[in-house]
Amino acid sequence: MIRTEILKAEDLDRALARTREVLLSGGLVAFPTETVYGLGGNALDASASRKIYAAKGRPSDNPLIVHVGSVEDVKPLVREIPEKAKALMDAFWPGPLTIILPKSGLVPMETTGGLQTVALRMPSHPFANAMLRNCGCPVAAPSANRSGRPSTTRFSHVLEDLQGRVDLIIDAGDVPIGVESTIIDLTGEAPTLLRPGKITIEELASVIGPVLTDPAILSENIIAHKELVSRPKAPGMKYRHYAPRAEMWIVSGETEDVAETVNELADERTGILTVDEHQDLYRCGKILSVGSLRSPMSIAHNLFACLRDFDTMGVTRIYSEDFSEADIGTAIMNRLLKAAGGNEVQAEELLKRTSETDR
Ligand code: TXA
Ligand code: MG
C-alpha cells in the first residue's frame, strides 16, 4: 500500500504542479478525461508502465494508450504521421479518439505491451488537457479501474479501485461521456475500428473514407463466445470485461415481453437495468434506470456507474434491457455485451430455459 494524495481539479495550480512532480519522478496519477478516468504514468519511463500494470492487476501484454497535449507531442513518438492520421487529428482532437500508429524507438516496449505500434490520444477534458500541456512528458494511461472491472466514471469509484495503489488521485467528479474512446488502427492495410466509442465509424469514414470493423467487436461475435443453448448459470467469465460481480443477461424482445419475463424471474437480489421510460414496468428487484431513451448519451454516461452500483447492492444476477446500436449505441451495446460475457437472450427463450433448469 502507498499513501494516496487526493486533490481537487478545481484547485488547478496545485493539482497541476503535484501531477507534474509525481509523473516526472516515476509515480502514478489517476486523472479525469472526458471519457473515463485514467491511471497515468510517464509513457517514456518503462518502470512507470510496469507500475501501471501492477496497480491495475493487468496482464503486461495489454498495451497502454499514450496521451498527449498537442499534435506536436506525437511526432517523437511515431515513425511518421500518415495523411489519414493528420486528417483525423484535425477533425477530432482534442477528443475521444485514439489512433494507432507505428511507434518510434523512444516509446518503451513496456508501454506498448511489446508491440511495435502505439495508441495515441489527445483528450479534451480541461484538466487532462492542462495536465498534458504542463507535465513535461506523454502520459500512458489505461482506464483507472482494477483489471476486468467496469471503467471508472465517478471519483468515488476511482477511490474504491485505486486508493493505496497510486500516488495521487485528481477529483473532478463525474466525467462527461462515460464510455472509453473510439480506437482506430492505421497501421494495417486499411483503417480499422478496434473499439467503438462516442466518435462513430460513420464520422471517421466521412473524414478518411472506408473504415473496416475488427470482427472481435461485432455484437454477433461477442455473443457467439457463449453457447446460446447453455444455461443461465454458465459463468462465461473468460470473455468478461467491464464486468460487475453478478452474472449478467441482456434480455431482448418487445419491452412488454422483457418486463414480463424479468418480473417472473426476479427476486429481491436481482438487479434490473432499465431506462426512465420503462422503470414502472418492473415490480421487484433492484431497479436502476441507466438514463433516458431520448438521450442515448445519458445511457453512456451512467452505464459503468450502474454496473458498479449493482455490485454495491450485492445483487446475484442482473437482467438488462438491450439498446439501439445507432451512434453511441454501438459503444453502449459493445460494453454491455462484454460486461455480460456475451449473454444475450430473447425474453421467451430465457423463460423457457429457466423453467427447464428449475424442473
Ligand atoms: O478513453 C480511453 O481511451 C481511456 C482514457 C483513460 O483515455 N483509456 C482506456 O485505456 O480505455 P484502456 O487501457 O483501458 O484501453 C485501451 C485499449 C486496450 O484494449 C488495448 O488493448 C488497446 O487499447 N490498445 C492500446 N494500444 C494498442 C496498440 N498498440 N494496438 C492495439 N490495441 C491497443
Ligand atoms: Mg480499460
Question: How many residues are listed for the chain in this entry?
Answer: 359
Pocket test for ligand 1, best of 56, 180, 214, 222 (most atoms within 8 A of CB): 180
Pocket test for ligand 1, best of 33, 61, 98 (most atoms within 8 A of CB): 98
For residue 230, the model assigns a pLDDT of 39
Q: List domains and CATH numbers for the chain.
A: 5-223 (3.90.870.10), 247-358 (3.40.50.11030)
Q: What are the respective helix, strand and coil percentages of the chain, to the nearest 5?
A: 40, 20, 45
Please identify, by atom number, the ligand 1 atom nearest to the C-alpha of residue 141.
6
C-alpha cell read off for 145: 479501474
Ligand (nearest to CA of 38): 1
Quote the pTM value.
Answer: 0.95
Q: What is the residue with the minimal CA distance to atom 10 of ligand 1?
A: 142
Strands 270-274 and 317-321 turn out to be parallel
pLDDT along the chain (359 residues), means of 10: 97 98 98 98 98 91 94 98 98 98 98 96 98 98 94 98 98 98 96 96 98 90 62 37 88 97 96 98 97 98 97 96 97 95 93 72
Q: Which residues neighbour 5 within 8 Å (Cβ) at sequence distance 6 or greater?
A: 18, 167, 168, 169
As for ligand 1, residues whose beta carbon falls within 6 Å of it are 33, 35-36, 38, 62-65, 98, 100, 112, 115, 117-119, 121, 141-143, 180-181, 183, 194
Residues 139, 262: Cα–Cα separation, whole Å: 44
Strands 117-121 and 38-42 turn out to be unpaired
Q: What is the pLDDT of residues 307-331, one digit of tens each?
A: 999 999 999 999 999 999 999 999 9
